[in-house]
Structure formats: structure tokens, C-alpha cells
Amino acid sequence: MSQLVSCRDVTKSYIRAKEQVDVLTGINLDIEEGDFLALMGPSGSGKTTLLNLIGGLDQPSSGSIEVGGVGLQDMSERALAKWRSENVGFIFQFYNLLPVLNAQRNVELPLLLTRLSRAQRQKNAQIALEIVGLEDRAKHKPGELSGGQQQRVAIARALVADPKLLVCDEPTGDLDRETADEILNLLEVLNRDHGKTIIMVTHDPKAAAHAQTTWQMDKGKLVAEVPA
Amino acid sequence: MFSQIVEITLMNLRNIPSRLGSSSVIVVGIAGVVAVLVGLLSMAVGFSRALETTSLENRALLLRDGSNSELSSGMDVAAANIVSRLEGIEVASPELYVIADIPKRATGTPANMVIRGMRSAGLEVRPEAEIVNGRLFETGKNELIAGVKAVAEFEGLELGSEVQFRASTWTVVGHFETGGSAYESEVWGDLAVAQAVFRRGGSISSMRLLLADPALLEPLAEQIQQDPRLDLALKSEEEFYSGQAEDRAALINTFGYSVGVIMAIGAVFAALNTMYSAVSTRTVEIATLRALGFSSMPVVVSVIIESLALALLGGLLGAAVVYLLFDGYTASTLNNASFSQVAFDFAVTPELLRIGVTWALGLGLVGGLFPAVRAARLPITVALRGE
Ligand SMILES: Nc1ncnc2c1ncn2[C@@H]1O[C@H](COP(=O)(O)OP(=O)(O)OP(=O)(O)O)[C@@H](O)[C@H]1O
Ligand SMILES: [Mg+2]
């Protein structure tokens, strides 16, 4: 298997109240294509920060991040936005669906950035909803769906443009055990049967157990690979 | 890019009903500004119109030299007659212009009403005058005809009513119209009777002259100016009234714009506040769109369009309110130059509506721009935290 993500000496610092806060202090991480990686660690250890850097939402203070052979650290904001739309699917803890749009239209959103025809967009959105098992809820708005169903819609949205990489920040953090397991099983299916590389931040060891690889973070460093 | 803007804008506009409360603050605030601005400006336009339609192109006004109003003017008939016999003058109407306190209908408090004494020539020099009710006053009798705006404005000018001036009793025998001009705020009676009642002897205030040709005005004015026997000045009626109208209209305009600006400042803050909160409740939504790869531009544009749409709604609402309530509504104001009440109709013209809507859009633009730019500049990672 080839390597999809490669982080070299990545640091990230913020200036807060005139003081420099070093959030990431020298991250080196390689992720194989097809991996399902869980990131664990105490609150404030920098998990979200690292995930955002790999997903191209932010850029490192120093070091390099290559995803699919492309260096993200030097890209313009505009180029990065385009790169994200083609290469990454995002899944958030609170789903982040647009409340005024129904499930189908939420899933279609990323395709507005492509050249696909309206009919093709609708078809792809429908396929994505079928994959997550929600084809019968296409016309429902987020407010009319349960938390688990909303997260499925969000996963369909992350899938619809067919990116190689899915980044998930505590995707089950807002769900009960049973629903969380359903979502995690779905992510496993996407990893195994659809070839998606997944990076998932979680606090929950049971969630991490669904992953192939688990890394522990602490104080801005990757401290140990936890054996599965 | 364009389709992004369209999609996101449509989405935001569809979102408005869910934020009805805060959005209506913008709409109502801007409607208020536009209503007040257009209302005041329509007053200025209406006032100018009333005075301007008073004038006739070939009608001239003879006043004492140096006098700017009929009230302060005076001359004896002998002098006026020298003028009336000059070549090129077709009809001459010597007139006495006095004012009396008459209670206003609306308030019951007395206000100045113009009483104009004239001979039959008074109607000849005013071909636009038309008796719409009753009949003309008769020579030598204490009879009056009242302009329709005076009837509406003042108490006791109905047909057959009796009015007291200076211990004399007058009967209202007719009502007249002059095509909406300022004359409609006056009452007219016989010159000789008025001179006697108001103890003016043989003197008059002014003379209205109908010229054979408007081009004669200048040479005639020159001739009168040069004549050592005459201490009189000839003016075109147009010049006379537009001078009066401009003063007052300019005052109302200035007032209108000042009040408009003050209210606009308030409305801008309301709009800014509403758009800031509209945008901040959607910080996470906007950040999510940007995370998915949408660029900032459509977000900025769509927020501005949303703000403009609300402002336009407010502008149209305000303009509609003013139009429905005020267009054609008759009001009166003290005419500075003659110290008498001139009634006029508010004139809500398309031009004023355009000004109102333009202001609304300006307010909407300012109200949307800053929140939009702020939303677009917030780092995505910060915005996604939704703090
Ligand atoms: N934009 C920012 N400005 C300043 N400090 C920041 C910013 N973003 C994150 N931080 C700080 O960086 C540190 C790591 O944050 P991060 O969100 O990556 O932690 P996390 O491991 O995801 O924690 P949690 O489990 O609570 O989500 C925290 O101390 C946070 O306050
Ligand atoms: Mg986090």
C-alpha cells in the first residue's frame, strides 16, 4: 500500500494574549492509504488541531504536510479550498448540516463546486444516501431527523464527491452507545469496502477499537501507537 | 463562483423566515427612515407646486418698489392707473390684500387668512379661477367667495355662512377653484367694500396685469422703473412665487434630509446589529461551507444580498406607507413672505420614491458589508469551534 499522508516536523503555535501557545510541537506521522486511524488523548492535547492541518483547514507554523503527494503547507487559501473540495470529506461532532436544506440538498452541497449537471448531482447524492441507508429520508430536513440519522447525512455529504480521505472529529461524541456503534460500523464499511482512508479523533476507547491503528497524543506530541 | 453565490444566497434568503424577529427590525427600521424622509420631501415638493402653479406666464404683478410681498406693498389707485394704461397691458386688476384671523378647523386656533378685494377684472386676470359652488360676489355688497382650500382649512366658510371682519358681517356666496394653486387658500370680495371695511381709503396693495405677450414684461418693467412719477416695480408672477416657494421648500428639504440622516444612522446600527447576529448565529454554517471548499466571496456577497433584500423590503414598505397615507393629503403652512396660510398637497412623486428606495439600499449595503467581511475573515478552524 502506498502512503497517503505524511507529516514531517509539524508544529503549530497560536498567539494568545500576546503569548505564544505551542499546540503542536514536532509531529511526524505517516498514514497508509486505506488505513483507519484513531487519534486519542486528553482534551487540549492538539487532536483537532492536527486533524485540521491534515484536512487542509489550516496550515502548520513549520514543517510539511503532504497528502496524496501534494504539499499543503505552501498552498494559497484559495488553492487549499479547491483541494479540500476534491480530496477530503469532513465529519463533525455536531454534524454541521444546514438546517434549511433537506437531506438530499445537504448531501448535494459539495457537488455545487463541481461541473456536474443538476441531474447528475441529484443522482450522486441519492447514491451517497443509499450507502448510508437513508434513501427514504431524502426530503427530510435535519430538524426532522435523529442525531444518528443526521450524522449519516453528514457522512453521505462527506462521501458524495468521492474523496480518498475522510477526517472525523469525534463523530460519535454526541450519540448514545448503540447509535455510535452503528455509525462506527458504517465508517468501517466505508474503509473496508469503499477504500476510504479515515482519520478519526475520539475520546472513546470503544470507538477507537473499530480503527486499525490508534495513536495517543499528549501536549502536542504523538506519544505512542496503541496496539489494537 | 457565480452559481455558488446564487445557491448560497437562495439558501440565506430561505433562512429569513426562521429569523423573522430579528430580520423585521431591519425592515421596520428602514421603513421608518424612508417614510419620514419621503414624507418630508413630499411636503417640500407639494409646497413648491402649490406656489408655482399659482403663476401664469403672461401675468405680472405690480408692487411698491422694494416690496417683496403683497402684504407690505401699497400704492394709490392713481399711480396704478398710469401703469394700467401702458401699451401691451390687456387687463389690469387693482387689488387689496389684507389678512384676518380666522379659526382653523383642525385646531380651532386662529390663523391668518388672506382676504383679497378685487373688481371683476380680478377674475379676468385669473382665467383659471372657476366658481364651483354658488355664485360670484356682487359689487358693493359684503359678499365673499372662498377658495376650496380655505374652506377646508378654516371654520365657517360654508355657502351661506356669515363671517365677521372688523365689525362688519360678510356672507359667503360662492366657492372657487384655481387648479390647486395658492389662490385657493384665499377668500375674495369686492374691492370698494374691502377698502371701506379695512379703512384703506383709495389705496390698494397690488395690481395684477395680464400682458399681451410675456416678452413685454422686461421692457414694461424697465419703463416703470425709469418713470419718475412711479415708485413701483413690475415682476413676473412666476418670479414672485417661485422666490417664495424656494425659501420654504429649501427649508423643508434641509429639515427632511437632516431628520432622514439622523434616523438613517439609527437604522444603520439596527441593520448592522441584525446582520451581525444573523451572521453570528450562522458562523458555524458559514465555516462549514468554507470547509467544504466554498470560497469567502459567495459568503460575503450572499450576506450583503440578504441585507439588501431586507432593506429593499423596508424601503418599499416605508414608501408605500407614505404614498398611501400622504399622497394628495392636504396640509398648510405659513407662507413666510405673506404671513398667510397656504394649503398644499403632499406630492409623493416617483422621484421621491426612488430617493427613498436608494436610501434604503444604501443602508442595507452598509448594514451587510461589515458583518459579511468579518464572517469571511474569521479563520475556519476558529469559526468551526462555534464559540
Ligand atoms: N485558534 C486558536 N487560538 C488559540 N489557541 C487555540 C486555537 N485553536 C486551538 N487552540 C488551543 O490549542 C490547544 C489544542 O486544541 P485542540 O482543539 O487541538 O485540542 P483537542 O485535543 O482537540 O481537545 P478536545 O479533546 O477538547 O477537543 C488548546 O489549548 C486550545 O485552546
Ligand atoms: Mg478537539
Mean pLDDT to the nearest integer, B195-222 = 90
Neighbours of B153 (CB within 10 A): 24
Provide, as residue numbers in chain B, all residues whose Cβ is less than 8 Å from the Cβ of A14: none
In Å, how far is B29's CA from the nearest CA of chain A?
A: 26
Query: What integer pLDDT is reported at residue B7 of this predicted model?
Result: 74
Note whether A113 contacts B384, CB cutoff 8 Å. no
pLDDT confidence tier of residue A197, bands split at 50, 70 and 90: very high
pLDDT confidence tier of residue B37, bands split at 50, 70 and 90: confident
Write out the three cell numbers for A31: 498514514
pLDDT at A165 over 60: yes
Whose CA is closest to A204, among A89, A6, A50, A47?
Answer: A47
Quick check: helix, strand or coil at residue A1?
coil
A98 vs B: CB within 8 A: yes
ipTM, 2 decimals? 0.94
CA distance B354 to B372: 26
Partner A, chain B 257-296, Cβ-Cβ below 8 Å = 284-285, 288-295
Averaged confidence pLDDT in chain A: 93
pLDDT confidence tier of residue B333, bands split at 50, 70 and 90: low
pLDDT confidence tier of residue B258, bands split at 50, 70 and 90: confident
Query: What integer pLDDT is reported at residue B201 of this predicted model?
Result: 87
Give the one of A55, A85, A98 whose C-beta lies nearest to B285's C-beta: A98
pLDDT at B245 over 60: yes
Mean pLDDT to the nearest integer, B323-329 = 75
Note whether B15 contacts A86, CB cutoff 8 Å. no
Q: Which segment of A177-186, B163-172, B344-353 scores lowest on mean pLDDT?
A: B344-353
pLDDT confidence tier of residue A207, bands split at 50, 70 and 90: very high
pLDDT confidence tier of residue B25, bands split at 50, 70 and 90: confident
Query: What integer pLDDT is reported at residue B307 of this predicted model?
Result: 83
Mean pLDDT to the nearest integer, A10-38 = 93
pLDDT confidence tier of residue B242, bands split at 50, 70 and 90: low
Give the one of B3, B285, B381 whose C-beta lies nearest to A112's C-beta: B3
Query: What integer pLDDT is reported at residue A228 of this predicted model?
Result: 60
- Of residues B358 and A1, more confidence is placed in B358
Spatial contact of B64 and B74, defined as CB atoms under 8 Å apart: yes
B13 vs A: CB within 8 A: no
**What's the pLDDT tens digit per position in B79-101?**
888 988 888 899 999 999 999 88
Highest mean pLDDT among A169-183, B8-22, B296-310, B357-371: A169-183
Note whether B4 contacts A78, CB cutoff 8 Å. no
pLDDT at B339 over 80: no
Averaged confidence pLDDT in chain B: 83
Q: Tell me the residue range of the domain where A118 lies.
A: 3-226
Mean pLDDT to the nearest integer, B247-258 = 72
Query: What integer pLDDT is reported at residue B330 of this predicted model?
Result: 62
Residue B1's H or E segment, with its range, is: none
Query: What integer pLDDT is reported at residue A51 of this predicted model?
Result: 96
Note whether A109 contacts B285, CB cutoff 8 Å. no
Residue A76 beta carbon below 6 angstroms from any ligand 1 atom: no
pLDDT confidence tier of residue A111, bands split at 50, 70 and 90: very high
pLDDT at A206 over 60: yes
**What's the pLDDT tens digit per position in B103-127?**
888 888 888 899 999 999 999 999 8
Whose CA is closest to A25, among A41, A39, A45?
Answer: A45
Q: Which segment of A46-60, B192-206, B259-273 scores lowest on mean pLDDT?
A: B259-273
pLDDT at B55 over 80: no
Highest mean pLDDT among A188-197, B66-75, B251-260: A188-197
- Of residues B25 and B51, more confidence is placed in B25
- The conformational region for residue B336 under phi > 0 = left, psi -120 to 50 = alpha, else beta, is alpha
Mean pLDDT to the nearest integer, B165-187 = 89
Sign for the pseudo-dihedral over CA of B110, B114, B120, B126:
negative
Ligand nearest to the CA of A22: 1
Give rounded-to-5 percent helix, strand, coil for chain A.
35, 30, 35
Whose CA is closest to B55, among B242, B212, B298, B247?
Answer: B242
Query: What integer pLDDT is reported at residue A171 of this predicted model?
Result: 95
In Å, how far is A123's CA from the nearest CA of chain B?
A: 18
pLDDT confidence tier of residue B319, bands split at 50, 70 and 90: confident
Note whether A58 contacts B381, CB cutoff 8 Å. yes
What CATH number should be reported for the domain holding residue A193? Answer: 3.40.50.300
**What's the pLDDT tens digit per position in B122-145?**
999 998 899 999 999 999 999 999
pLDDT confidence tier of residue B1, bands split at 50, 70 and 90: low
Query: What integer pLDDT is reported at residue A196 of this predicted model?
Result: 96
- Long-range (24+ apart) CB contacts under 8 A made by B267-271 are B267/B26, B267/B29, B267/B30, B267/B32, B267/B33, B267/B363, B268/B363, B268/B366, B268/B367, B270/B25, B270/B26, B270/B29, B270/B367, B271/B26, B271/B29, B271/B30, B271/B307, B271/B310, B271/B311, B271/B363, B271/B364, B271/B366, B271/B367, B271/B368
Write out the three cell numbers for A38: 484513531
Domain count, chain A: 1
Residue A48 beta carbon below 6 angstroms from any ligand 1 atom: yes
